[in-house]
Structure formats: C-alpha cells, structure tokens
Amino acid sequence: MPPGRLLELHEVAVHFPTRDGVVRAVNGVSYHVDKGEVLGIVGESGSGKSVTARSIMRLTAANAVDAGGSVRFRRKDGSEVLISAEHRQSRTMRSLRGGEIGMVFQEPMTALSPVHTIGTQIMRTVMLHRKVSKAEARARAIELLAKVQMPRPHDIVDRYPHHLSGGMRQRAMIALALACDPTLLIADEPTTALDVTTEAQILHLLKSLQQELGMAIVFITHNFGVVADIADRVAVMYLGRVIETGTVDEIFYEPKHPYTQALLRSIPRLGGEKTRRLRTIRGSVPDPYSVPQGCSFHPRCDHAVAGRCDVVVPAEARFPSGQVARCHLAGEVLPEAAE
Ligand SMILES: Nc1ncnc2c1ncn2[C@@H]1O[C@H](COP(=O)(O)OP(=O)(O)OP(=O)(O)O)[C@@H](O)[C@H]1O
C-alpha cells in the first residue's frame, strides 16, 4: 500500500448460502481509506454496506462465506497486515479490534453490556490492550467520557446503560470505541436512530474527535445529507458493489454514474426550486439472490444499452480528478442529459 494508506479492500466478496439460494451480499468491493480521512459509504438498504464493513473486522455472521478478495490494514507501528478469514480468532485480530480499529453501531446496546457499568466496560477494553492499573484505567474511562462531552463524567462512569438517554448511550459507545486511540473508526449508521438535534450533535462530536485525534473514519449511512456533513470522499454502493467513488464535491456536483445521479435527484434540497419534482428511481432493488447480469443497475437505468449493459460487467472508468465510476457510459451520461 502507498505510505499514507490505512486500509485497502480489494474485490471483497461475501456470500450467504441459505435454503432459498445464495445471497450475494458483497460482490467484489474495492475501496481504500487514507490516514486521517473520512470515507462515507452510501447506498440503499441491502446494498452490502454493513456486511462489507463487518468483513474488515472479520465480524460477519456465522453463516457468511468468504468468497474472495483481500483486506489490508496499516498498523500503528507502520507494518502492513493482511486480514484474512483464518485471522478471525487470531491474536492479531483481537489486538486490532478495539486496539487499532474501533466500531460504533446504530444500536448502542449491540456494543454495550446491560449488566455492567459504563466505566467497567471502558476499563475492561483499556486493560485488555494496555498494561495499566485499575485506577489508571478508571481515570482513562472518565477522561474518555469527558472527551465525548458526556455530562457529569465522574457520575456517569458508575452508571448502567439503561440509566442513559439514547444520545448519551451513543456517546458512551463512542468513548468505548476510542478507548485505545484507534487509527480507524468504523461507524455503521451511528446517528440513524436519533432525533435530528441529537444526530447533529453526535455528527459534530465525531467530526471534531476525528480532527483532534487524526483518526480515519469509514462512515456508513443511507443519508446523503449526513455524508455531505462529515465525509471527505464518498463510495456509493449498489447490490454488493461500489459503483462510484469521488470527493464529496465530485459526487454531489458531478456524479458520473446514473445510479448516483438518480439517488441525488430523489433527495429534497433545501432552497431548491419549488417546481422541480422529486423523482423516485424506477423499479426496486432486485433481490440479492438473483443479481442481474452485466451492470447490476441496468434494469432500472434510463440509459442502458442492450447487448452491452445487460451483458458485460462495467470496468472502472477513471477520471483525471481520481473520480471512478463503474459504468459503460460514464462520462457520457451527464446530469443534464439525464434530466
Ligand atoms: N447473516 C445473513 N444471512 C443471510 N443474508 C444476510 C445476512 N446478513 C446480511 N444479509 C443480506 O445481505 C445483504 C446486504 O446486507 P447489509 O446489511 O450489508 O446491507 P446494508 O447496505 O448495510 O443495508 P442496511 O442499510 O439496511 O443495513 C442484504 O440483502 C441482507 O439481507
């Protein structure tokens, strides 16, 4: 990996064999994250955002089958590690999880235990990864609670999760994820379940922590507005593939892939023209048992060319800026042409 690179996924594939057939949840996903960068992952429900992220930590469900690809991660000491399925239970993986890669979820109770105090849980993580005394770990827990702007950290440290509001639980989970100064935080829809005001506060908190600590974030969301707030670069996913990547500005102002263009047309804009009608994307996401041949978006695409888009999987089209789109017509299908 280049020196500034922290994480690199190459053609990662994860399938779930079920009684009704094979769910091809992730079908060859490639993306990278540089040190200190925020990568937003967007896409409709079921596009494979979470399964891909979990495969980085090797935390996919027991019925998941690793169907290929590789994940590379740069450790704090500068060395590169190849994360593979065999590493699932390895000592390296255990030291990466929580020690170098932190994770926060939509539902804090998936990360927090209901039967232990917030302090005990943070102290446990700190003591698992560092040689510190109990008193030092407790001091670190209080320091972390203050860092995530938890009110009354000296009091909250001895509370159980059910004593806290939704927003405070989210802060506690972030404190837990930051316990060992991770260089990468994977945030999977961490604000989706919150009201708008709390969501804005948590986003602001994550952004300021990211800048203060210099950590990178993979931020998963289905909300373009949230991406605009927090991300530097964006990867758009559709049916288990990344179909476009670029900077936030490129994706918002010059989307190259018809799916990204359609997604953007379907979100209301503040101050937008009142006469402009919101358009929904034709059809619905096909079920992942039968991913369409060729470009998987072609059955819903207004520009699909028969004999090409329905037959051949598009290669990556690279633009001089670094923007990449997996579309046979990328560069030809401009937003104006698609109106
Ligand atoms: N353990 C599992 N067994 C079978 N199918 C699964 C399993 N976990 C996920 N899937 C399927 O894999 C696909 C991708 O799921 P994933 O959760 O990654 O989507 P997502 O883009 O994160 O969506 P959401 O925003 O709804 O979380 C979905 O079709 C989902 O039903």
| DSSP calls for 183-235 | SEEEEESTTTTS-HHHHHHHHHHHHHHHHHHT-EEEEEES-HHHHHHH-SEEE
- Identify which has the larger pLDDT, 5 or 92: 5
- Complex ipTM over 0.90: yes
Ligand 1 atom nearest to 18, measured from its CA? 4
Ligand 1 centre and the CA of 336: distance in Å?
A: 34
Instruction: State the Cα–Cα distance between residues 177 and 210, nearest whole angstrom.
Output: 12
Domain spans of the chain, in order of start = 5-238
Structure tokens at 45: 């429900």
- Considering the domain 5-238, what is its CATH architecture? 3-Layer(aba) Sandwich (3.40)
- Please spell the DSSP secondary structure of 294-333, one letter per residue: SSTTGGG-TT--TTTTTTSPPPPEEPTTS-EE--TTTTTS
Q: pLDDT of 299-322, one tens digit each?
A: 999 899 999 999 999 999 999 888
C-alpha to C-alpha distance for 323 and 85, rounded to whole angstroms: 30
Check if the beta carbon of residue 173 is closer than 8 Å to that of residue 104.
Answer: yes
CA 177/CA 21 separation, integer angstroms: 36
Round to whole Å and give the CA distance between 183 and 76.
7
Q: Above 60 in pLDDT, residue 334? A: no
Atom 31 of ligand 1, nearest CA residue: 46
For residue 187, which of 201, 200, 170 has the smallest C-alpha distance? Answer: 170
Report which ligand 1 atom has the smallest distance to the Cα of 62.
1
Rounded mean pLDDT, 209-238: 94
pLDDT digits (tens, 9 = 90+) for 104-114: 988 888 889 99
What is the rounded CA–CA span in Å between residue 92 and residue 260?
37
- Longest Cα–Cα distance of the chain, Å, equals 68
Per-residue pLDDT at 271: 56
pLDDT, the chain, mean: 89
Residue 174 parent element (H or E) = helix 166-177
Whole-angstrom Cα distance, residue 28 to residue 316? Answer: 12
Q: Give the pocket of ligand 1 (CB within 6 Å).
A: 16, 18, 23, 25, 43, 45-51, 61, 63, 222, 288
* 89 close to 48: Cβ distance less than 8 angstroms: no
Token duo for residue 24: 């091809």
Cβ atoms within 10 Å, residue 31: 19
In this structure, what token pair is assigned to residue 317? 């089209």
Q: Going by DSSP bridges, is the β-strand pair 5-18/65-66 parallel, antiparallel, or unpaired? A: antiparallel
Q: Using CA positions, which residue lies closest to atom 12 of ligand 1?
A: 25
pLDDT at residue 337, as a whole number: 43
